[in-house]
Structure 1
Amino acid sequence: MPVMTADDLHTFLAAEFPQVKSDFVIEEVRDMGIRVRLKVEERHLRPGGTVSGPTMFSLADVSVYLAILAMIGPQALAVTTNCSIDFMRKPAAGTDLIADCTLLKLGRVLAVGDLLIRSDGVEAPVAHATLTYSIPPRG
């Protein structure tokens, strides 16, 4: 079961990553999973008016990070060791993006998360990602 709530995670982001805290809304925390909304703004767009790949990577990375922290508690030094992301279709114009993440493995030193990113209100995913995180030793 999660040891951190959505409010706990928002507080953590505000303290440790104030530069991105206003970009993300944690909509749901569940056992081994999380749903995170990216509030898409003009600065997230690339030429042509679509959300940029780096922005979608950021949503994937933050989502897996927060899913892990929800389960293990605040570990600011957990780091991404691998990411694979497939961009499948252009996000719907003018909508937020929502990442639905499930942790596939949560070990002592490694965690693996899988997620789909969708445009708000659209069923077809715009991206699929799998990320691996290294968890620092406790103590």
Structure 2
Amino acid sequence: MGLAFDAAGLGDYLHEVFAEVANDFVIERLDEDGITMRLVVDDRHLRPGGTISGPSMFALADVTIYALVLSRIGREALAVTTNASFDFMRKPAGGTPLVAEGKLLKLGRQLAVGDVLIYSQGDPRPVARSTMTYAIPPKKVGTA
């Protein structure tokens, strides 16, 4: 299955359907192999001690897989997370953008499974890993 969006088109769609958080995330790469997204970190993403909060890292993983699924199935805003596992591996650098590398492991008619590694920008050691499953809404009768 090819791409339903290019990076710019997908970014525009995310701004349309998730305007409240869309400016937090930047698509840096989108191709047949996967996606690279960046969390634009500011003070609201930090927890005491200056590190990036777990909820911010989880949001990056979730948006990464959501965007990756949409890049394949198109304008289907109601695709939803049905399962998530998250491993925190090391403390991310505070105030440094986080970069997520996502890839699809399975894309079926009803479910998509993706894997994400998250890094502090400039550091090759992952700070977190997540696997997520998304439910894909059924196609409406009479649509392709």
Normalised TM-score (structure 1): 0.97
Pairing of 1:47-126 with structure 2 (within 5 A): 47-126=48-127
Stretches (4+) displaced over 6 A: none
Q: Counterparts of 1:74 and 1:23 in 2: how far apart (Å)?
A: 20
Rounded to whole Å, the distance in 2 between the matches of 1:93 and 1:54 is 14
Q: CA 1:32 to 1:135, structure 2 compared with 1: closer, same or farther past 3 Å? A: farther
1:2 paired residue number = 3
TM-fit CA distance, 1:94: 2.3
Shift of the alpha carbon at 1:32? 4.8
Separation of aligned partners in 2, 1:99 and 1:119: 9
Contact 1:32/1:71 (8 A) holds in 2: no
Percent identity for Structure 1 against Structure 2: 57
**Cα pair 2:52 2:95 within 8 Å, conserved:** no
Tell me, in whole angstroms, the C-alpha distance in 2 between the residues paired with 1:138 and 1:118. 36
Distance between the aligned counterparts of 1:121 and 1:74, measured in 2?
Answer: 33
Aligned ranges 1:11-50 → 2 under 5 Å? 11-50=12-51
Contact kept, 8 Å, 1:86 with 1:129, in 2: the verdict is yes
> Rg bigger for which structure?
2
Q: Which secondary structure state, in structure 2, belongs to the residue aligned with residue 80 of structure 1?
A: strand
Q: Give the match's secondary structure for 1:91.
A: coil
What residue ranges of structure 2 are gaps of 5+ in the alignment? none
The offset of 1:30, in angstroms, is 1.1
Residues 46 and 94 in structure 2, CA contact (< 8 A), matched pair in contact too = no
| Structure 1: 5+ residue stretches without partners | none
TM-score normalized by structure 2? 0.94
